Structure 1
Amino acid sequence: MKHNAHNSNVLKDFSISAFSAGFVAVLVGFASSLAIVLQAAHAMDLPLALIESWVLALGVGMGICCLGLSWYYKNPIIIAWSTPGAALLATSLQGLSIEQATGVFLFVAALSLLIALSGTFNKVAQWIPMPIAAALLAGVLIKFGFSIFTSFQLSPVLIGLMLITFFGSKYFAPRYAVILTLVSGALYLFFGPEQLSVEGVGLGMAKPYFVMPEFELSTIIGVGIPLFIVTMSAQNLPGIAVLKASGYHDQAISPLIGSVNVVTLVLAPFGCFALNLAAITAAICTGEESHHDLNKRYIAGISAGLFNILAGLMAVSMVGIFASFPMAFISALAGLALLGTIASSLHSALAEPDNREAALVTFLVCASGMSFAGVSGAFWGVVLGVVLQKMKARKSKLA
């Protein structure tokens, strides 16, 4: 794939609208899903220094990819961490060591890179029927939806305010609903009865911490395979759709997936668990709000890269601020941020009558939190769903 050949000069093509679109995309990405990443880290009781290393690696990784790919292709290529992947990790990493988790990160990046280099991304994506992949995602995420209302029991005023803000914002500013919810909850915590303080939050530069990976077969099967499926189906495929819908039909996808996973491989030992094409935040940078000329929207991608790197370097402050918030706030914010994804996943999983039973079994197994033979339920849910779906399809052909 040759990169965009139009005569472009970054300074000449610069616009405030595209630059600010990149800033908003990063703001939305961190505000809406950092809480989910932190829950994944807390699932293993990681020390603060390692959590900061995770955020540093993710921010720098996203930044390098956004900046480099957008500059090279002259298209707004927005790369994000896998939010559904983080949610999967938050429910699957309990009892695992950080070394085993790092082995999973490296496995997923290597598998994704191999598929990108082989040019078989679309074929591999078709191996897992979309209803089954959607059911896997819904089953993993449903716990976050429940957490909204279990948190309400703990802090009814705080969570009630967040619910009102979230659903109210859906009417007049849906794109910023999660940010407004974050702000409303934070203001209540800072100025309400509890008078939460962040005086102890540090301002230093985050430090990377290298973790030697450990590869355990049951962990790779039970966590790595579902993480790969979720990242591919729930993140990369929608990301491709956003690019195509925005007019970037000629953009080759395999080089993007390959480049992103090379960066992930390098940064995985520092906590970069999975990077992929963005969808929701990408739409902010690829649409007309960014720039009326689609050939000049790549500035938004460069801008997003710069702000991602800056956010990663500020990991000490960001993690410190979120760590000062009560768990009820973090859980509710994560659940509200994933509400739309849960709804769309359930719809995609159960929309087709022929696949409904197989998808429902996948959803129930993944949601149950079961494990068998040392392998998590997310893997078994996919296996059972695919088997039932194939049996149904075979029966239909014979009928």
Structure 2
Amino acid sequence: MACSARGDDHPGRRSSLLLSLNSQETPELRSLHLSAVMAGLIAVLVSAASNLPLFVQMFGAVNFTPEQAVSSLASMYVSLAVVGAGLSLVFRAPIIVGWNTAGLALLIAEGPRLTPGETVGALLLAALVLTLLGLTGLFDWMARHLPAPLAAALLAGVLLPFVLRGFAAVPIAPAILMPMLAAYLMGRAFAPRWAVPLALLVGLGGAVLTGAGPSAAASLPVHLTFIRPSFSLQAFVAVTLPSVLLAVASQHLPGLAILSASGYRQVPPRPLVALTGLAGLLAAPFGSITLNLGAITAAICTGPDAHPDPAKRYVAGVACAAGYLVLGLNAGVLLGLVSVLPVPLLQGLAGLALLGPLLLGREGTMVAEPRWREAALLTLVLTASGLSWLGLSAPLWGLGLGWGLAALRGLREGRATPEGTGA
């Protein structure tokens, strides 16, 4: 019996058994990895379809030349690809990185008041601040002290005008936008991930049928164009400070929360914030906007739909990075195609795409304490108003006055409580 046992443990026979088991599991493993790859590619498609119309509007608002616009898109996508793939492989987790959608809306609103150099300088400083927040650990302090209701109201206030503008465009091109709206509603009801891409396809079909479809698009070669940054207090106040606050409140914090809720609590936040900030710092001179953790797209890649085994979902992060790389290398073609679309279609698609982030912002303002509810409402309204006065942009007016109101209410309630108790 002993000889028989030793014979069963023969290295050659054991190797044959392992090869047999591996060959039996290969199809299943391949199918599971395929689901993770598909999740990553879906995240790329959803994010691109949702935000490319905003990029086109942003490039026009900040007066980028066509070459600078291609450079901005290419540098952003390539940076996201490198950082996203590296972080996913190092931490063996689906680290999805992206850009600040609310930051795009901010640049569309504030960009016309600045030169292209001032815009790049403001984005460069924002990336530097985010890098320092990650390296020094100040991100943790900021996350603890930034009032969540005001941060949510800031996000909602920045996005609300674009959603309203999208729906206001319906009378201009009803044959395009009404079918788009119907497709979006059907998508949200039955296939939420595909609602925005479906609306885009229906909108393109409506544009073609009505004769407003895109003509032949000019494609520019992809190369990085250095944009000399210039620095001004106006740009720092109008773009840098709100961009940092929005990146922390609407991207980094939700992105980290999604990772934690999906079981990746072992991933430290400091290198994620620092490295995305550093990537943005290197890409900003070529026109890239602020880079940060993904939030909405991260939910696509971190759940069980991407892969039943959390240890294998990092494949979705790598696939997402690969998709970004493809888009970056074809930024000229991509931008050429989007830039010839009808303006009402772009406005409508942007409005529909921002409904989800706007909903997150609105939900964050619905808190129990009355002083924070009222302060959040004031922040939202002032930010959405577009107020620009004394060199301060609407987001700073909204955040400052909302925070001030909450502080004054807190002082009053703090004095009233002991008196009430004594009575």
Q: TM-score range by the shorter chain?
A: over 0.9
Question: Does 2:365 align with 1:346?
Answer: no
**2:65 matched residue in structure 1:** 47
RMSD: 1.7
Kept in 2, the 8 Å contact 1:128–1:386? The answer is no
Q: What are the equivalent positions in structure 2 for 1:87-236 lying under 5 Å apart? A: 87-190=105-208, 192-194=209-211, 196-202=213-219, 205-236=221-252
Task: Determine which of 319, 335, 350 is the counterpart of 1:319.
Answer: 335
Assess if the C-alpha contact under 8 Å between 1:13 and 1:299 holds in 2: no
Distance in 2 (alpha carbons) for counterparts of 1:366 and 1:195: 34
Counterpart position of 2:94: 76
Q: 1:185 to 1:391 in 2, by over 3 A?
A: same
- 1:148–1:333 Cα contact (<8 Å) kept: yes
Give secondary structure in 1 for the equivalent of 2:263: coil
What is the correspondence of 1:251-266 to structure 2 with a 5 Å cutoff?
Answer: 251-266=267-282
User: Corresponding residue for 2:79?
Assistant: 61
Name the structure 2 match of 1:386: 403
Amino acid aligned to 1:90: I
* Deviation, structure 1 residue 205: 3.9
Gaps of 5+ in 2: 1-28, 417-423
- Report deviation, 1:18: 1.3
Q: Which amino acid aligns with 1:77?
A: I
Change (3 A) 1:14 1:68: farther
Residue-by-residue CA offset, 1:304-328 (whole Å, 9 max, x unaligned) = 1111011011111111111110111
| C-alpha spacing 1:100/1:395, structure 2 compared with 1 (3 Å) | same
Mapped partners of 1:356, 1:210: distance in 2: 45
Confirm whether residue 274 of structure 1 aligns to residue 290 of structure 2: yes
- Identity score, percent: 35
Q: Which residue of 2 aligns with 1:250?
A: 266
Q: Shift of the alpha carbon at 1:350?
A: 4.0
Alignment match of 2:306 (pick from 268, 290, 294): 290
Post-superposition offset of 1:267: 0.4
Number of residue equivalences: 387
Displacement of 1:273: 1.3
Between the aligned partners of 2:378 and 2:43, the Cα distance in structure 1 is 36
1:226, CA displacement in angstroms?
0.9
Report runs of 4+ in structure 1 exceeding 3 Å deviation: 11-14
Between the aligned partners of 2:409 and 2:275, the Cα distance in structure 1 is 38
Distance 2:122 2:269 in 1: 24
Opposite residue 48 of structure 1, the aligned amino acid is P
Q: Does 1:362 align with 2:379?
A: yes
The verdict on how the C-alpha distance between 1:14 and 1:176 changes in structure 2, with shifts beyond 3 A counting, is closer
Gaps spanning 5+ residues in structure 1: where? 1-10
Following superposition, the deviation at residue 120 of structure 1 comes to 2.5
Instruction: Show CA shifts across 1:223-246 (max 9, x none).
Output: 211111111101111100110111
Q: Which moved more, 1:372-381 or 1:260-269?
A: 372-381
**Is the Cα–Cα contact under 8 Å of residues 196 and 353 in structure 2 kept in the other structure?**
yes
Q: Is the 8 A contact 1:26 1:304 kept in 2?
A: yes
Report the Cα offset of residue 80 of structure 1: 0.6
Who wins on radius of gyration, i.e. which is larger?
Answer: 2
Contact 2:212 2:342 in 1 (8 A): no
